[in-house]
Amino acid sequence: MRKILVPTDFSEESKNAYEVALAIARKINAEIVLLHTIEMPYNSTFSTTGENTSDGMEQVYMLHLLENVKRDMNKFKNAFPYEGLHVTEAVDVSRLHSKVNNLVQEQGIDLIVMGSKGASGLQEILIGSNTEKVVRTATCPVLTVKDRQQHFEPREIVVASDFKREIKGAMQRFKSLQEMFGAKLHLVYVNTPSAFENSLNLQQRLVQLAEDHNLQNYSVNIFNDVTEEDGILHFAYNIKADLIMMATHGRTGLSHLLSGSIAEDIVNHTTTPVLTFHLR
């Protein structure tokens, strides 16, 4: 892991994410890229690179806006000491999740650390959030942060999954983060009434996966609850987890509306930092 992207809207939540990114970067001497995007109206005469295609007051407004953003970005960058680390800034006129995906490919981003306010009710169903869109579409791991983690040093990490074949693609990344912080990994399968499985079979599946990946310092857990989301949240609360890690299929469009996403629900409804990783 050599490069960390931190999208920011200059909110307290994004400042919390930046502080966590700095803590991780110090562990591995990684570079941090701070990103702020400006979403212009659809009828704007500005291109996605910030170039003006017409004269007039709109150009003056855009130049003034960019000056303010650059000032705010510099203030944000210096909110915490970063001596010894390479921190760069990027400002773009585009949709956030599109620019994030472009930067991941162009700059070889290894991790996105992003603040989240969460969402609930009708807002969650109809609108969602920028963080949800990034979690759903990013091709690298995304760590979402809500509350301030002044000394981000996770010791108890939950890995929630069905632990079928697809999870193997994410386990090495999860293991690397565990080793980085010297944390204990708690593998948990949530057994629900609607998808109940034999506990002995589940236990064997989890133990086999741990052996396949040569995991150290871990526990295997079968947790009963009404829904997967409730089970993950309740288990994490019971063990006082510092971090929840999950793999997601990143469905979009109609399939996302019909099936939903447990990972996105967890991101919305917990104050514990959540790391998500695409399986596709």
160 plus 140 within the same structural domain: no
150 part of a folded domain: no
151 part of a folded domain: no
CA distances from 239 to 150, 185, 236 (A): 20, 11, 6
Total-model pTM = 0.85
Domain stops at, among 145, 166, 192: 145
Domain stops at, among 106, 122, 145: 145
pLDDT at 120 over 50: no
Domain, as residue range, for 117? 3-145
Amino acid at 46: F
Q: What are phi and psi of 235, to 5 degrees?
A: -65, -45
Contact criterion met (CB below 8 Å) for 271 and 237: no
User: What confidence score (pLDDT) does residue 250 get?
Assistant: 53
User: What confidence score (pLDDT) does residue 249 get?
Assistant: 64
User: What confidence score (pLDDT) does residue 41 get?
Assistant: 57
The three-state DSSP-derived secondary structure of 160-222 is ECCCCHHHHHHHHHHHHHHHHHCCEEEEEEEECHHHCCCHHHHHHHHHHHHHHCCCCCEEEEE
Angle of CA points 145, 256, 11, to nearest 5°: 25
Number of structural domains found in the chain: 2
Roughly how many angstroms between the first and final C-alpha of the chain, as a whole number?
Answer: 20
8 plus 118 within the same structural domain: yes
More confident residue, 86 or 125: 86
pLDDT tens digits, one per residue of 227-280: 999 999 999 999 999 999 998 765 544 333 333 478 888 888 899 999 988 876
Spatial CB neighbours of 27, under 8 Å, sequence gap ≥ 6:
180, 181
59 part of a folded domain: yes
70 plus 177 within the same structural domain: no
| DSSP H stretches of helix in the chain | 12-28, 57-77, 96-107, 121-126, 130-137, 168-181, 199-212, 228-238, 253-259, 262-269
Angle of CA points 116, 119, 122, to nearest 5°: 155
pLDDT tens digits, one per residue of 83-115: 999 999 998 888 888 899 899 999 999 999 999
Contact criterion met (CB below 8 Å) for 160 and 261: no
Task: Pick the closest to residue 186 from 249, 248, 238 (CA basis).
Answer: 238
Residue 146 zone, left/alpha/beta (φ > 0; ψ -120 to 50; rest): alpha
163 plus 112 within the same structural domain: no
pLDDT tens digits, one per residue of 158-178: 999 888 766 777 888 899 999
125 plus 165 within the same structural domain: no
74 plus 190 within the same structural domain: no
- For residue 44, give the CATH number of its domain: 3.40.50.620
More confident residue, 76 or 127: 76
